[in-house]
């Protein structure tokens, strides 16, 4: 690659890296998984950088999504090895109830199938339209709408406390 191309790629990563990491975290469900997912996606994008036309962020997000689904499929064929003690998540500086609610919501999100989690991530975290989400995931708009509806219904069922909590004005800042 040329210095100009390297500079463009570096500028892209510096500018959009944190947003892409948040997107990867929402897909992977863990910081380490998100970092690995993003690193692999950026390596793939770097190899194709001269051929990427226009905005590179949707291209990288599509790589992230496809890599996450591929990894999920591989893991379903190769079971995980259980461990005796799980590492503790980092402590949050919030009231006890908010932390508990966030943990419940995070655990509930992780129970969703990858496509539903991806739809919720794109629609509500990335604030994409149904059409943009469908284009990014390579499916129809009806599929996005139905997956979002099913995912939200499942979350409401798993974390009924969240619906009441979200209606409180101090939370909606």
Q: Give me the mean pLDDT over the 153-159 stretch.
A: 88
pTM for this model (two decimals): 0.52
Q: Could you report the per-residue pLDDT of 109-133, keeping only the tens digit for each?
A: 889 998 999 999 889 888 889 999 9
Q: Could you report the per-residue pLDDT of 42-80, keeping only the tens digit for each?
A: 999 998 888 887 788 889 999 998 888 876 555 555 566
DSSP string, 82-115: P-SSPPPPPP-SS-HHHHHHHHHHHHHHHHS-HH
Backbone angles phi, psi at 169, to 5 degrees: -65, -35
170 pLDDT higher than 50: no
């Amino acid at each position: 690659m040329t210095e100009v191309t390297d500079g463009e790629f570096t500028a892209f990563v510096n500018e959009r890296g944190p947003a892409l990491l948040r997107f990867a975290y929402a897909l992977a469900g863990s910081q380490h998984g998100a970092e690995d997912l993003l690193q692999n996606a950026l390596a793939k994008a770097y190899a194709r950088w001269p051929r990427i036309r226009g905005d590179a962020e949707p291209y990288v997000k599509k790589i992230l999504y496809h890599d996450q689904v591929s990894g999920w499929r591989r893991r379903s064929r190769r079971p995980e090895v259980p461990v005796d003690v799980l590492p503790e998540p980092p402590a949050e500086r919030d009231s006890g109830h908010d932390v508990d609610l966030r943990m419940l919501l995070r655990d509930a999100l992780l129970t969703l199938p990858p496509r539903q989690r991806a739809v919720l991530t794109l629609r509500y975290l990335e604030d994409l339209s149904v059409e943009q989400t469908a284009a990014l995931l390579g499916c129809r708009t009806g599929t996005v709408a139905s997956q979002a509806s099913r995912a939200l219904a499942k979350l409401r069922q798993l974390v009924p406390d969240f619906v009441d909590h979200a209606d409180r004005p101090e939370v909606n800042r």
